[in-house]
């Protein structure tokens, strides 16, 4: 069951996200996540029930094994990307906040508004290199290098890449690899599924080649599934390739836009 108030390792998160079992983290809007899960499961289930039996009957025993393995890794990485803590920076408690603001001469009025309106940044050393550390008004703490505040989840995230509505979570330091793996395996799943649809159509042609009406009737669902698969495959694979380039250069999406 969710922790309320939102906590992780003893720190309070008055944010738009929720932590489960002190490790799993996700934004509180569930509709998109459920929609993505349902779409993958329904399309894969339809392919398993409609196309794979005729493929197996024609001797390609390895195909359902391949499809099952790729489907398993797709779903596993999706769930890890969606529910894993992306690298949320714990907010300081009241005493720590008071100490930080007093130490850096940050003042607030009775309504809690800062004055001056923008608290001063401070310079910190990172590997002996100076870095300007801005103050986060919401989390009430200075942000370290590559920490960005997500306006959707309302938290600061380490190595913030972007907030992904499809996984219902931020993509950051701790779940980036799961997100990248999900995009890769999902694109592979789409390509494998498309090949399966083509094979199933080919085998049905052998059966119904003299009954064109039945051939098209049996393959309309197959054509639709294959079309969806190939479109998503050619969309997701370049996206994964793009993130590979970012990872190799040691930068994030946020830092390149």
Contact 31, 202 (CB under 8 A): no
What's the pLDDT score for residue 74?
A: 98
* SS3 at position 160: coil
- Residue 7's pLDDT band (boundaries 50, 70, 90)? very low
Instruction: State the number of CA atoms in the 13 A half-sphere of 132 facing the CB.
Output: 4
**In the predicted model, what is the mean pLDDT of residues 123-138?**
77
User: Tokens 């550390």, residue?
Assistant: 133
Contact 194, 230 (CB under 8 A): yes
Strand runs labelled E in 9-146: 11-12, 17-20, 24-27, 107-108, 114-115, 122-126, 129-133, 135-136, 141-142
* DSSP secondary structure string for all residues of 185-242: HHHHHHHHHHHHHHHHHHHHHHHHTT-HHHHHHHHHHHHHHHHHHHHHHHHHHHHHHH
Contact 36, 166 (CB under 8 A): yes
* pLDDT exceeds 80 at position 37: yes
What's the pLDDT score for residue 202?
A: 87
Percent of the chain with pLDDT over 70: 76
**In the predicted model, what is the mean pLDDT of residues 209-213?**
67
Domain extents in the chain = 7-88+164-256, 94-143
What's the pLDDT score for residue 9?
A: 37
Percent of the chain with pLDDT over 90: 51
Q: How many C-beta atoms surround the C-beta of residue 116 within 10 A?
A: 8
Contact 149, 156 (CB under 8 A): yes
What's the pLDDT score for residue 5?
A: 36
Strand partners, 20: 2, 24
- What span, in angstroms and rounded, lies between the C-alpha atoms of 222 and 198? 8
pTM for this entry: 0.82
pLDDT, tens digit (0-9, with 9 covering 90-100), for 87-125? 998 887 776 666 666 665 566 654 555 555 456 677 777
What's the pLDDT score for residue 232?
A: 97
**Alpha-carbon torsion, ordered 165, 171, 175, 179, to 10 deg:** 60
As annotated, the active-site residues are 164
């Amino acid at each position: 069951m969710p922790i309320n108030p939102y906590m992780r390792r003893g720190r309070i998160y008055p944010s738009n996200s929720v932590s489960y079992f002190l490790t799993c983290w996700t934004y509180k809007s569930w509709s998109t996540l459920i929609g993505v899960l349902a779409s993958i499961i329904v399309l894969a289930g339809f392919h398993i029930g409609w196309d794979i039996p005729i493929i197996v009957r024609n001797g390609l025993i390895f195909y359902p094994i391949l499809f099952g393995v790729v489907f398993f890794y797709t779903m596993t990485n999706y769930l890890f990307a969606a529910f894993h803590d992306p690298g949320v920076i714990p907010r300081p408690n009241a005493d720590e906040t008071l100490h930080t603001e007093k130490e850096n001469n940050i003042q607030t009025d009775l309504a809690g508004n800062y004055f001056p309106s923008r608290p001063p940044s401070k310079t910190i050393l990172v590997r002996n290199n100076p870095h300007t550390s801005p103050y986060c008004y919401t989390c009430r703490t200075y942000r370290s290098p590559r920490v960005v505040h997500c306006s959707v989840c309302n938290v600061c995230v380490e190595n913030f890449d972007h907030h992904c509505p499809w996984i219902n979570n931020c993509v950051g330091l701790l779940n980036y690899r799961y997100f990248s793996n999900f995009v890769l395996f999902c694109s592979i799943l789409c390509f494998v599924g498309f090949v399966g649809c083509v094979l199933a159509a080919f085998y049905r042609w052998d059966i119904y080649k003299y009954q064109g009406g039945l051939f098209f009737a049996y393959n309309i669902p197959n054509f639709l599934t294959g079309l969806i698969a190939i479109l998503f495959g050619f969309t997701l694979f370049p996206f994964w390739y793009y993130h590979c380039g970012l990872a190799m250069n040691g930068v994030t999406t946020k830092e390149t836009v």
